Amino acid sequence: MTSMLRFAVEFVPQEAYWQTTALGILAEKYGFNFCWITDHFNNRSVYVVLSLLANYTDEIMLGPGVTNPYLINPVQTASTLMSLDNLSGGRAILGIGAGDKITLNLLGIERTKPLTAVKESVKIFRSIFDSGKINGFKGKVFTVEKAKVAFEKTGELPIYIGAQGPKMLQLAGSMGQGVLVNASHPVDFKFASKQINKGIKEANRKPKDVDVAAYASVSVDKKMEKATKAATPVVAFIVAGSPPVVLERHGISPESAAPIGKALGKGDFPAAFGAVTDEMLEAFCIRGTPKECTEKIAALQKTGITQFVFGSPIGPKKRTSMELASKEILPHFK
């Protein structure tokens, strides 16, 4: 039996504010339930963008997907999310993860005990969201002597954990209201489901307590070639950033992946994108016509996902691809 599927979009806040805002307004109009905004210091501020979206939309759920506990203290993140929740009339959602190692290293930030840091953050968030305060918290990464916020949240403020590794997936199953799994292929979700369910069982929870989201790389177009062209750069970066165990899971040899990382490192994008193979595209994105994408999303649904995120690039033109998805993909899952 397959469970109900809800849909989301992911935007990387690189464009002008009005453009991301316009895309968010359209996402709501096209029937998407969630809008996740990525968080990297080199892009526009995730919270400035989310505030604008909160102002110009009415129904869509909004949140950082995902922020991390190293750049901003979790108490400050809790207060910020509660503010967004107030501003949006109870539509805030919080995505938290370990953070991108490479960008954090650029700032001299060591990702110390990432699993513990995320776990402690979730405890801090939940306490502040539910009681407005946290006192005498002594973790291994975070200590909060005394923190009290002077206002209350408006909605539920569910916490989603961005997870790929086995322990982080288990943690999401045991503590998260949701999990954002950065993957696009059923093979990855079979692996992820096992770990998430382990966490659910250990915490005496039920599968329905955890919204399992496929945070997928998607490229929809009426023409396969156009969809593939838009997906190729994103897949090149995914391959270069994937640990050997993930490449292995898809039968991709380290020898075929290495030149992509090397070329990207040198800024030689044509060489990097030219080295992306069909099997890499199959493994790391969902691309093609609405019909082809629908079949692939349906296959993911069979692995137990309950949310599907149209992540970067979405398509050659985001607006057109969202409209195509709304008319020709979403209705199949109603």
* 185 contacts ligand F42 (rule: CB under 6 A): no
* 314 contacts ligand F42 (rule: CB under 6 A): no
* 97 contacts ligand F42 (rule: CB under 6 A): yes
Q: Choose which of 54, 66, 93, 192 interacts with ligand F42 (CB under 6 A).
A: 66
167: which 2 tokens?
Answer: 């322990």
* 163 contacts ligand F42 (rule: CB under 6 A): yes
C-alpha distance from residue 3 to each of 6, 147, 198, 212, 308 (Å): 10, 40, 19, 11, 12
* 182 contacts ligand F42 (rule: CB under 6 A): yes
Measured from the CB atom, the residue of 53 and 275 that comes closer to ligand F42 is: 53
Measured from the CB atom, the residue of 20 and 68 that comes closer to ligand F42 is: 68
Q: How far apart are CA 7 and CA 220, in angstroms?
A: 15
Measured from the CB atom, the residue of 111 and 229 that comes closer to ligand F42 is: 111
Q: How far apart are CA 134 and CA 145, in angstroms?
A: 8
* 234 contacts ligand F42 (rule: CB under 6 A): no
Stretch that binds ligand F42, among 62-70, 251-259, 276-284, 314-322 (CB under 6 A): 62-70
What residues contact 1, with CB distance under 8 A and at least 6 apart? Answer: none
Q: How far apart are CA 294 and CA 311, in angstroms?
A: 15
SS3 286: strand
One symbol per residue from 2 to 41: x for binding ligand F42 (CB under 6 A), - otherwise; what is it? Answer: ------------------------------------xxx-
Q: How far apart are CA 276 and CA 119, in angstroms?
A: 36
Q: Choose which of 166, 241, 259, 304 interacts with ligand F42 (CB under 6 A).
A: 166
Measured from the CB atom, the residue of 20 and 182 that comes closer to ligand F42 is: 182
Measured from the CB atom, the residue of 30 and 191 that comes closer to ligand F42 is: 191
| CA torsion, ordered 1, 193, 309, 243, to nearest 10 deg | -150
Q: Choose which of 65, 69, 176, 178 interacts with ligand F42 (CB under 6 A).
A: 65
- Cβ 155 to ligand F42, closest distance in Å? 21
* 168 contacts ligand F42 (rule: CB under 6 A): yes
Full DSSP string of 312-329: EEESSSHHHHHHHHHHHT
User: How does DSSP classify residue 121?
Assistant: H
Measured from the CB atom, the residue of 119 and 226 that comes closer to ligand F42 is: 119
C-alpha distance from residue 127 to each of 95, 132, 151, 272 (Å): 16, 7, 14, 46
CB 47 within 8 A of CB 88: no
Stretch that binds ligand F42, among 108-116, 184-192, 201-209, 222-230 (CB under 6 A): 108-116
* 100 contacts ligand F42 (rule: CB under 6 A): yes
Residues in contact with ligand F42 by CB under 6 A are: 38-40, 65-66, 68, 97-100, 113-116, 162-168, 180-182, 215
